[in-house]
Amino acid sequence: MSVRRFRVWSAVLWACAGAGPALAQWNPSSGQWGKVDADDVRVLTWNIDDDICRTATKVEGQNSWTALARIVAAMRPDVWLIQEAADNSGNGTGSGCDSVSQLTTTIELFFHGGSDPFMGGTVTAYVQKYAPDYDLPYIFVCTKTDSYNRNVIVSRFPFADLNGDTVSQRSEPSVGADEYAPGGYLEPLRGFMFAEFNLPDSTYAGNLVVGNAHLKCCSDGLVERELSGKNTAYYIDYFFNGAGTGIPDPHDKIADYPPATSILDDYTPVIVGGDWNEDELENGRKGPTEWITRAAVTGGADGTDRDRSDMTYDDARNPYDNNRVTYGSSKLDYLAWQDSIATLRNTFIFHTTGLPSAWYPPEILGFPSPPVISVYASPHRPVTADFILPAAPAWPPGDMNCDATVDFGDINPFVLALSNPTVYGQTYPGCPILNGDINGDGTFDFGDINPFVALLSGGGA
């Protein structure tokens, strides 16, 4: 099989597996809000203002639950950062905050529908009703709560430990005082959560780490937001990146047990976002967004990017009117990323107020009044960014140790992959087992032995 054929086949396999739904190209003026390239990773952050909780009205109609489900179905993020879920106080029930298990079940209902164990009846408004080929099955609900809200990360990618500490989800990371970090929990009010994800080796060279936070609001939160930004900057730089030393937590200031044994590889970016409750262009101070992305010195060598330069944060706009507002008259919701690894393809804000009807994505057309669907969904506007991540190398067929050559050194890995695929994956991490699909039938099995022998002996694939 040629390298080109292998790459095409891998893309077809990935699409057929349902890992990445076919999307229209980016053309909002024609109602197409999809990714430019299916391999881009779309991250969306959205404060949903209490509208996903166990007591929510979950039936089709002009209500917040339906509006959220239709917009998520239209935007189809690969990773969704949610703030202000789980709060039942606004539904007249006095039921308080959902537990982790209750909110997990509620989010599953939000995507898949089914019988409502909390309110009775059937959920008739749900994401897969409007986008049957789309799903975010991996759910991480933060254990930290402010007694009302919880943060959530949902993803189409599975969780995986990427740094050897046996943990792929963290609800309340904390640091000790060091350098510019004041110490303490990264965001004491609601928790700054992080999740590590395994991306398919056939498509991406690395994996992905995502963080999500809802920082304290209003003028009385100025000091706390700044402290949270400092601690978060330290955590990203020292824990995930090793602060340029090559080892995690070189100053031994980060709570992690068992401790991480490695930093992230060169191809795995950290992307963070959330409702950070401050528009630093308006108040003119160095607030949480600048601290999280730049640390102590703007343009210095202590930044939070992998190479210790500064990370980048979004300047997302409504593509129709170029408006940057995400709440009220300010920008409070952000995405930030390590731009030395993740390349921004596109970023935008979705809001239907004032949007011409030709711009409406088809998933929202069934809403009773599409022009106000954003108003019903949340007073916050979702911020979305599409990232180009480092692509997987195009290994030649038969290259079972991924050294870019096919020779007798591939025999033992080939045999190991046939006899014990799990051990093969541990022994040759990042090396796709489907490099062994020499006969091109879409599977790696004993039918590939003779073609492999022929390949090594010069007979071709």
Other C-beta atoms lying within 10 Å of the C-beta of residue 425: 16
Least confident of 14-18, 114-118, 439-443, 446-450: 14-18
Residue 70 within a domain: yes
Written as six digits, the tokens of 58 are: 């979950």
199 found inside a domain: yes
- Quickly state the pLDDT bin for 90 (edges 50, 70, 90): confident
Helix axes 411-419, 449-456, angle to 10 degrees: 170
What single letter denotes the amino acid at residue 146?
A: D
Mean pLDDT in residue range 137-156 = 96
Number of domain units in the chain:
2
- State the pTM of this model: 0.85
Residue 403 in any domain: the answer is: no
Task: Give yes or no: residues 355 and 431 share one domain.
Answer: no
**What is the average per-residue pLDDT within 143-157?**
95
Q: Do 447 and 316 belong to one domain?
A: no
- Residue 206 and residue 148 share a domain: yes
Give the separation between CA 326 and CA 380, rounded to whole angstroms.
Answer: 5
* Whether pLDDT at 290 is above 90: yes
Lowest mean pLDDT among 140-144, 320-324, 395-399, 430-434: 430-434
Are 277 and 321 in the same domain?
yes
Q: Which amino acid is at 105?
A: T
Domain stop point among 360, 388, 416:
388
Note whether 263 and 241 are within 8 A (CB): yes
- Asked whether residue 132 is assigned to any structural domain, the reply reads yes
- Count how many Cα atoms sit within 13 Å of the Cα of residue 218 in the half-sphere of its side chain: 1
Q: What's the CA gap between 430 and 202, in Å, rounded?
A: 9
pLDDT surpasses 50 at 9: no
- What percent of the chain lies above the pLDDT cut of 70? 93
Look at residue 393 and tell me if it is in a domain: no
pLDDT tens track for 207-247: 999 999 999 999 889 999 999 999 999 999 999 999 999 99
pLDDT at 314: 98
Q: Which pLDDT score, from 0 to 100, does residue 116 have?
A: 98
Domain that holds residue 40: 27-388
Q: Using one digit for the tens of pLDDT, what is the confidence trace for 337-391? A: 999 999 999 999 999 999 999 999 999 999 999 999 999 999 999 999 999 999 9
pLDDT above 50: residue 429: yes
User: What pLDDT is recorded for position 7?
Assistant: 39
